[in-house]
RNA sequence: GUGGGCGUAGCUCAGUUGGUUAGAGCGCCAGGUUGUGGCCCUGGAGGUCGUGGGUUCGAAGCCCAUCGCUCACCCCA
């Protein structure tokens, strides 16, 4: 029995690449989510929550069948029958959100612009775990559906940066590029692919393969042998048509007007097929190789591809786990240190007092005062120690004599002073004391 | 998926070239104070050294496998 229990404990752990979020950590999550909700309110975005699993064909169509995310990282759910649709845990959020927007007719009405955000949505990818790369990770982000203007791109980037700034994030960098419209990109590819083929023998194995399957991805290869070739490759920015160029220039000037510093990076290519035009990434120098905090861009043809109207769109997703790592690495995120402690510890001695304490706790809770107490008939010393450990400002002591008098001793833990307070007056006293406390 | 590193108490870590009952600090519990916390003193609980095999008279330390974490690549938030 004993050894059995030990074996069970050993086996039962959170699945590889997942994490339990304990109370102390959860407080930090709440702080981040709070900032996200607040920024969304300021920008006028509406929250959307979509299912954790979706039809596999949604992701195949949107993200791209050849991408790593779809071809090898999806958690496929077991089907109950051959006839049933194939489902997978969602590996990303843009496709589901667009699907929901189309399904609920959000894009067919009068409004030419739909602003959506999510604050803490889990994503699932079967990857080899690393710090900042989990199999279940959480993102906040936006999707702005409708506008083709660079104003929308700028608003999206501004939204993301506001959150980072409000959280006190340091050492982050905005990388910006344009993949151009379909025409621009085709024109560019016609030069890029032959160029890569000419230099094929000098490229890394991965890049040789990708020259044929996904030539854009060769550009952000980190293999040293690819560096020289990539550096001299034809650049998309030189192949943008007039409209694309104007869009990109306009975006840059908009960002400058709101003092968002960015770094143009012609090698920034995102690994999801739906991106068109603007792409951007926010990276942190306080993280290791998994340094992307946020990624996003335009996806002007995705809505139509998924059966919706012709509807340009732009959005971003940001990883909460990575953001927290970056914030914690510098200890410079004051918002994160929200300690939650009860205001009152009701200390009871004896069974009768415990019953009274239970009743008083209920009254305190009903009055909106956080309070807790002992559940195990422990000694006074043990209860005092616990109150001290919890950091409650007040302890309300109920023993035999207090019961007889209908008044407990309310002790201020900071000053060590205590006074008799009638059972019925405790709420008033605590409220008053914490009020004066705040203003002193 | 490829290639490295690591895994000793709740936490942070010691543990000499394999050698007898595996240690410290912090934390936890109790006592010193029969109904008053923090500081101090004393005592206690808690580990089959991630797990399973193997080598050996003898393994926390060596070998293999496995699980987990981690670093780089890959990919990406």
The distance (Å) linking the CA of A419 with the C1' of B59 is 63
Say how many domains are in chain A: 2
pTM given for the model? 0.91
Whole-number Å distance between alpha carbons of A153 and A316? 10
What residue ranges in A307-393 does DSSP mark as E strands? Answer: 313-319, 344-348, 371-373
**A52 domain-assigned:** yes
Q: What is the CATH number of the domain that holds A253?
A: 3.30.930.10
Distance A3 CA to B19 C1' (A): 28
Q: Would the pLDDT of A114 be above 80?
A: yes
Q: What is the pLDDT of residue A7?
A: 45
The mean pLDDT of A95-118, rounded to a whole number, is 92
Q: Do residues A317 and A371 share a domain? A: no
Task: Note whether residue A366 is domain-resident.
Answer: yes
Tokens of A368: 């909106």
Q: Compute the average pLDDT of residues A139-153.
A: 97
A337 touches strand B (CB under 7 A): no
Q: Determine if strand B comes within 7 Å of the CB of A405.
A: no
Q: Are residues A253 and A351 in the same domain?
A: no
Nearest alpha carbon to residue A275 among A27, A419, A20, A64: A64
DSSP A149: S
In tens, the pLDDT along A175-232 reads: 999 998 888 888 888 888 888 888 888 887 778 877 877 788 888 777 777 878 888 8
Expressed as residue numbers, the domain containing A356 is 340-439
Residue A351 and residue A354: Cα distance in Å, rounded? 5
CA closest to C1' of B35 belongs to A380
The average pLDDT across A136-160 equals 97
**pLDDT of A437 over the 90 cut:** no
Bases along strand B below 7 A from a protein CB: 1-3, 28-31, 33-38, 48, 50-51, 67-77
**Å from A273 (CA) to B66 (C1')?**
38
CATH number assigned to the domain comprising residue A410:
3.40.50.800
Q: CA at A48, C1' at B71: how many angstroms apart? A: 37
* Structural domain includes residue A139: yes
- Smallest CA–C1' separation from A418: which nucleotide? B36
Q: Following CA atoms A210, A211, A215, A221 in sequence, which dihedral angle do they give, to the nearest 10 degrees?
A: 60
Calculate what percentage of chain A has a pLDDT beyond 70.
Answer: 93
Residue A199 lies in a domain: no
Q: Answer for A294: CB within 7 Å of strand B.
A: yes
């Amino acid at each position: 029995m004993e050894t059995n229990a030990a074996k069970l404990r050993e086996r039962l752990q959170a699945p590889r690449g997942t994490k339990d979020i304990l109370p102390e950590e959860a407080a930090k999550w709440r702080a981040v989510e709070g900032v996200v909700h607040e920024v969304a309110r300021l920008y006028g975005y509406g929250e959307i929550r979509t299912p954790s699993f979706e039809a596999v064909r949604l992701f195949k169509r949107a993200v791209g069948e050849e991408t790593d995310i779809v071809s090898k990282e999806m958690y496929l759910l077991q089907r109950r029958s051959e006839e049933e649709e194939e489902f997978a845990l969602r590996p990303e959020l843009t496709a589901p959100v667009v699907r929901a927007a189309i399904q609920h007719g959000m894009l067919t009405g009068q409004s030419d612009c739909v602003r959506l955000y999510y604050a803490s949505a889990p994503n699932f990818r079967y990857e080899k775990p690393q710090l900042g790369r989990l199999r279940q990770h959480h993102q906040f982000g936006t999707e702005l559906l409708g506008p083709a203007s660079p104003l929308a791109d700028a608003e999206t980037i501004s939204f993301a940066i506001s959150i980072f700034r409000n959280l006190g994030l340091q050492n982050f960098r905005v990388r910006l590029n344009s993949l151009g419209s379909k025409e621009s990109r085709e024109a560019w590819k016609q030069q890029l692919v032959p160029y890569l083929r000419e230099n094929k023998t000098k490229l890394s194995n991965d890049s040789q393969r990708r020259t044929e399957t996904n030539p854009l991805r060769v550009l952000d290869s980190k293999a040293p042998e690819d560096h020289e070739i990539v550096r001299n490759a034809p650049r998309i920015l030189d192949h943008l048509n007039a409209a694309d160029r104007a869009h990109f220039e306009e975006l840059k000037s908009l960002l400058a007007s709101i003092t968002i510093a960015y770094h143009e990076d012609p090698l920034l290519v995102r690994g999801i097929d739906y991106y068109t035009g603007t792409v951007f990434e926010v990276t942190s120098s306080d993280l290791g190789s998994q340094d992307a905090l946020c990624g996003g861009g335009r996806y002007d043809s995705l809505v139509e591809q998924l059966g919706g109207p012709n509807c340009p769109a732009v959005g971003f997703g940001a990883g909460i786990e990575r953001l927290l790592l970056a914030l914690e690495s510098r200890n410079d995120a004051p918002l994160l240190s929200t300690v939650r402690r009860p205001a009152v510890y009701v200390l009871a001695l004896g069974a009768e007092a415990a019953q009274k304490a239970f009743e008083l706790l209920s009254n305190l809770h009903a009055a909106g005062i956080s309070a807790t107490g002992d559940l195990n008939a422990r000694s006074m010393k043990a209860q005092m120690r616990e109150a001290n450990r919890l950091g409650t400002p007040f302890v309300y002591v109920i023993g035999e004599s207090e019961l007889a008098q209908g008044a407990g001793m309310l002790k201020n833990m900071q000053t060590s002073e205590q006074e008799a307070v009638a059972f019925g007056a405790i709420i008033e006293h605590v409220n008053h004391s914490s009020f004066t406390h705040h203003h002193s």
